[in-house]
Amino acid sequence: MLLVKQVSKVYEGKVAYRALTDIDLTIESGEFVGVMGPSGSGKTTLLNLIATIDEPTTGEITINGVNPHKLKKEQLAKFRRRELGFVFQDFNLLHTLTVEENIVLPMTLDGKSVKEMKQKAHDIAEKLGITGILNKRTYEISGGQAQRAAVARAMIHSPSLLLADEPTGNLDSKASGDVMEMLDAINRTERTTMMLVTHDPVSASYCHRVVFIRDGKFYSEIHRGSSRQAFFQKIIDTLSLLGGNGHDLSQVRV
Ligand SMILES: Nc1ncnc2c1ncn2[C@@H]1O[C@H](COP(=O)(O)OP(=O)(O)OP(=O)(O)O)[C@@H](O)[C@H]1O
Ligand SMILES: [Mg+2]
């Protein structure tokens, strides 16, 4: 469903910087793929190109057969709203609003009635087990709850591809586990395709496959198989071969 073909990215500036070189990546529908690599290796750059936040310098990206970078502005806005969901490290919730208001925020652009939006928020909260916090404001909830609210918001339009950049980066191990369990459940029940950028080997071990990049280039990929514990170990091993500071072992939580 996602095809990244020979994608390179050069940031222009006083000194041009080549952040990605000839990246090829195919993600099948329903797959849950992790992207790891040292800091500065180009993970966020790759995610942003797929998210259409930025444009590749060369190469092509297609999502469900559509190259979003070729769409006109309005079509692109619609495409992003329908096909893509985003989750970031810092939750990006609006602080004056309740969790419920945050979750329905993307729907306010659809011209739906308040009743319809409330219903949808309750449905999704029920499914994701966060009904208890719907009426709370963002300062009244924990980081893990905030991130689960952000995931609910990202899922409101049932996107075909969910893109997450370090969603557990600000969370402790318990809250990280909660968020990863939630993503895993969504992937299994909704068949949502997922791409997760992370430094955390435990979070990455929830993926079906992890792709490693180094210095903007593909390095290797490993597949999960049946045991998450064994996969976790394989991830740690690959990270230590990879070098750099992509594997801050002080942060490892098993
Ligand atoms: N807008 C930009 N302009 C110029 N250079 C950039 C820009 N964004 C990123 N870079 C550079 O591109 C390289 C890759 O950055 P990127 O953010 O993709 O790394 P990353 O793998 O996500 O790192 P981290 O793990 O620290 O988040 C870095 O050297 C960074 O300094
Ligand atoms: Mg990054």
Q: pLDDT digit string (tens) for 187-229? A: 999 999 999 999 999 999 999 999 999 999 999 999 999 999 9
Weakest mean pLDDT among 169-178, 226-235, 245-254: 245-254
- Choice from 43, 168, 197 to test ligand 1 binding pocket (greatest atom count within 8 A of CB): 43
Task: Indicate whether 253 pLDDT > 60.
Answer: no
Residue nearest to atom 2 of ligand 1 (CA): 11
Average pLDDT, the chain: 93
Residue nearest to atom 27 of ligand 1 (CA): 39
Residue among 248, 252, 245 nearest 41 (CA): 245
pLDDT number for residue 245 = 53
pTM: 0.92
Residue nearest to atom 4 of ligand 1 (CA): 11
Indicate which atom in ligand 1 lies nearest the CA of residue 166.
27
Q: Is the Cβ atom of 44 under 6 angstroms away from ligand 1?
A: yes
Half-sphere exposure of 88 (CA within 13 A, CB side): 7
Indicate which atom in ligand 1 lies nearest the CA of residue 9.
12
Question: 213 and 52 in contact (C-beta within 8 Å)?
Answer: no
Considering the chain, what percentage of its residues have pLDDT values greater than 70?
96
